[in-house]
Amino acid sequence: MADAIWKEFELYCPVCDHTFKQLIVLHKVPKDYNLDKILADSIERHDHKAYQDWKAKEGQPKQAE
């Protein structure tokens, strides 16, 4: 009954122009939670800097030849 309920959402960060997966622990959120708000917060908390660094290092789009 008290199982952890994880749900994976695919979110889009407009700052990074990047879609990422975010696990949300649904049983931890308040009863009257607003999922949209949580998702929006998650996008806001996206670590843009870390992503940009990662992208600069190894996330270069592979050239399709």
Q: Is 16 one of the binding residues for Zn ion (CB under 5 A)? A: yes
- Mark 23-52 with x for binding to Zn ion (rule: CB under 5 A) and - for no binding: -----------------------x-x----
Out of 15, 25, 26, 50, name the contact with Zn ion by CB under 5 A.
15
Give the separation between CA 54 and CA 57, rounded to whole angstroms.
5
CB atoms within 10 A of CB 30: 7
Helix H or strand E encompassing 21: strand 18-25
Please report, as ranges, the residues that interact with Zn ion according to CB under 5 A: 13, 15-16, 46, 48
